[in-house]
Every structure is written in structure tokens, then in C-alpha cells.
Amino acid sequence: MVDEDNRSLMMNIRQSVLQYCTASSTSNKVSKWTMKYILEYICTEIWIFLFMGFALTGWFVWFVLLCWLLVQAKLLYSTNDEPDHLDSPSLTWMKTRFTIVLSAFTLYTWFWRRDQGNEECGSHPRKFMRKLGLWKLLRDYFPVHLILCDDIVARQDLVRTNKSTSQGAQKITCNPSLFPDSKNYLVGYHPHGIFGVGAFVNFATESNGFSEKFPGLTPWLTTLEVNFKAPFQRDFLLSFNVVAATFKGITYLLDPKQCGKTGNFVIVVLGGAPEALDSRPGKYVFHTNRRYGFFKLALITGSTLVPCISFGEPNMYQQIKNPPGGRLRKFQDRFTEITTFSPPIFYARAWMPYRTPVNTVVGAPIPVPKVEQPSREQVAELKDLYLDKLNQLFQRYKPIYDPQACDLEFF
């Protein structure tokens, strides 16, 4: 009888311990998930601030420092006329602080002015900036994926590492015969969306393993030249592989004689700032009809064209109705012409985007012959070929990644 009681007691203890361990494990998983959710939210907020307010903040800080230096200089000049304060500790500290801030401010301003133009010569990329864990949290917020189309991976060998083999996983790379590092590539990214999050996450950072999927190639993301005018923001952008979206800046990377190397993978958000004004959930409006310079540049440099569509990019935000020809749209178009960047009036969860998947599909390369002085007919022919391939890519992957979306529109 005693033995049965002991066995019953031991069974109850074991069940209690097992329940406690299970509850503790579940609690830990929930707390980790909650913490990750919060960090993703904070990281996305930081990125939105960097996109929207970094330039104004940079100018504000620079002018505040300038005004502070002027006030301190005047104060020190007036204090030097008073003999009673010449040797006071507070005056010594004031002079030391003024000297340090003045030296740093002067040095940075000199470097800032002297470095003008490097955004058109390959920037100053820093690998550690591309590999920050911050960008993985931004990626996971939506999440953002970098996908190679079937035409790229169909004839490639799947690369396995010792670690991935033991875990039964595979690490996929592109077919090296389609993307040799002896050539340069001009990539058309569509659509712009409000912020172009997919372009930044996939090509300006390593959070989705671009270097593993395209070995030997160096990604370069282009943006408006005006983004490099503001202090501090300029240095932030240059620390990534981000360059100015100008003829000179793109030509430098695509011309091996100027750049001194090949294997450059230059991403251009082809629709530009005006395309952001047509960004709405489920709508894919590509502003390509007037983008002849993109195709002319490909012919002049002989760079391979690569179509790229980011499904889900327009689904992050709603936008106030602004039909073409309306008063609001006329104001936005005029504002864009003057400033080169557009002012879409968007909303979701306040300024925070919806958590909607973004799947960036890279299409098959389109070989382009080198023509130093291409004719209009050659440019138009290449443009038609590219748009046809782009439409095929859209129709092929829309049912998979955004089946509820409207059909593709070229504007």
C-alpha cells in the first residue's frame, strides 16, 4: 500500500515538473517573440525617420552648431576684455570646449565640401554597415525576400556548406554562366512604392544574402542626387553601396575604363519619384514610357539589362486619392518637377507601414550590344524588348506573390 502511494506521489511530481517545464518553455518562446516584434517595430521606425527626416535633421544640427560657435566666439571675445575672468576655471573650460567643437566642425565641413562629387564615383561603402543586424529586423518586419526567377536557378548547381548539409538545408546561388563577373549589369527595379523598402533591404544591405546569391557581383543602389546634399545624411548613404542616379554616376560604374573593374550590379528604381504618387495596394503602375535614357545608357556601355519586380511593395501604405489632372495631383507633379522628389500623402498604421510580405523577383538577364552612338530606333527596340520581358516576369509571378493585384500598367 505504501509502495503504491509512493508511486502515485512520484507520478504526480513528474507530471507537475513536466507541466512546469512546458509552461516555462512556452513562456520563454512568447517573451522572445514579443521582444523580437518590438525590436522589429523600433527598427522600422528608425528607418522611416532616416528616410523622411534625416536630411532636415542633418541641416538643423549643422546650423545649430554654427550658431553656437558664433555665440561662443562673441562671448569669449567680450570676456577677454575683463581681467578678473582671465584665469577662471570656467573660462578655461569654455575655451577648451569651443576649440574642440570648432576643430571638429571645421574638419567635417571641409571634408563635406571636399567630398562633393564622390556620390558619382562609387561612394565610400563600408561592409560592416551592410551587415548590421538592424537590417535583418527591418527585413523581418514585413518580411522582405530576395527571389531568383526559375530561369536563373534552373541550370545551376545548388551549393551546400558543411553546416547547411548537416541541417538538410540548401544555399542557392544564381547560375554563374548567366551572371559572370566579367560584365556589368543595369537593373530596372519596379515599382518604386512609397519608400522602396525592397530595394534597400535586398541590395543596400546583406540581410537577404545578396553576395551569396550573386557571387562576384557588387550591388549599387541609386537614389536622387539631392539626397547627398545634406550633411550627415550624405555620409550615411555613402557608407552603403548607394550612388547618385545621374548619367555620370551610373556611367562611372558601368564603364570599366572609368571604374577600373567589372561585376557591378547597378540598381535603378526606374519609375523614380513620380511613380510613388501612383503607389496603392494592389496597383502596379510602372512609369517607363519616357525612360529612354535608361536604355540608351545600356547600349552606350554594353551593359546587360536585368528586370526586377518587387511584389508587395505598393501594399505597405494607402494613399489619398490624387487622380491625374486633379488639383492635388497637379500640385504634387509641380512640386516633383521643382524639387526632384515627390510628396505622396500616405497612411497605414499612422506612419508605420502594414506588415505585408515583399517578394523581390530578379529576372533573367537581357544581353545588350555595345553601341557608342545608338539611334532612336535602337533605343526604342531595346525598350520594347525590356518591357516585354518585364511583363512576362510580372504575369508569371503575380499569381504566386500577389494574386489579388490588378494587372500591370505602363505609364
For the segment 25-81, what is each residue's pLDDT rounded down to a tens digit?
A: 455 555 677 887 888 888 888 888 888 888 888 889 899 988 988 888 888 777 766
Q: Are residues 268 and 389 in the same domain?
A: yes
Q: Are residues 177 and 239 in the same domain?
A: yes
Q: Are residues 306 and 368 in the same domain?
A: yes
Would you give per-residue pLDDT tens digits along the chain (411 residues)? 445 555 554 555 456 545 545 544 455 555 677 887 888 888 888 888 888 888 888 889 899 988 988 888 888 777 766 655 555 667 777 788 888 888 988 998 898 888 888 887 877 888 888 888 888 888 888 889 998 888 877 444 444 444 444 444 456 777 787 888 888 999 999 888 888 888 899 998 888 888 888 888 989 999 888 888 888 888 888 888 888 888 888 888 988 888 878 888 999 988 877 778 877 888 888 887 788 888 888 899 888 999 999 998 888 888 888 788 888 878 877 887 787 777 777 778 878 888 889 999 988 899 988 888 888 888 888 888 988 888 888 888 888 888 887 777 777
Q: Final residue of a domain: which of 99, 114, 129?
A: 114
Cell of 363: 529576372
The answer to whether residue 15 sits within a structural domain is: no
Cα–Cα distances in angstroms (integers) from residue 268 to residues 8, 105, 221, in the given order: 71, 34, 7
Q: Are residues 92 and 233 in the same domain?
A: no
Q: Across the chain, what does the average pLDDT equal? A: 80
Q: Are residues 196 and 287 in the same domain?
A: yes
The answer to whether residue 215 sits within a structural domain is: yes
The answer to whether residue 223 sits within a structural domain is: yes
The answer to whether residue 19 sits within a structural domain is: no
Q: Are residues 125 and 171 in the same domain?
A: yes
Q: Final residue of a domain: which of 114, 136, 152?
A: 114
Q: Are residues 221 and 266 in the same domain?
A: yes
Q: Which domain holds residue 98?
A: 28-114
Global pTM?
0.83
Q: Final residue of a domain: which of 55, 82, 114?
A: 114
Q: Give residues with Cβ within 8 angstroms of 258, minimum separation 6.
A: 251, 252
Q: Are residues 66 and 129 in the same domain?
A: no
Cell of 157: 548547381
Q: Are residues 133 and 178 in the same domain?
A: yes
Cα–Cα distances in angstroms (integers) from residue 83 to residues 71, 73, 74, 262, in the given order: 20, 17, 17, 66
Tally of CB atoms within 10 A around 381: 14
Q: Are residues 84 and 141 in the same domain?
A: no
As for how many domains the chain has, the answer is 2
Pick the closest to residue 222 from 179, 256, 270 (CA basis). 270
Tell me if 245 sits within 8 A of 225, measured CB to CB: yes
The answer to whether residue 9 sits within a structural domain is: no
The answer to whether residue 3 sits within a structural domain is: no
Q: Are residues 164 and 262 in the same domain?
A: yes
The answer to whether residue 21 sits within a structural domain is: no
The answer to whether residue 8 sits within a structural domain is: no
Q: Are residues 103 and 189 in the same domain?
A: no
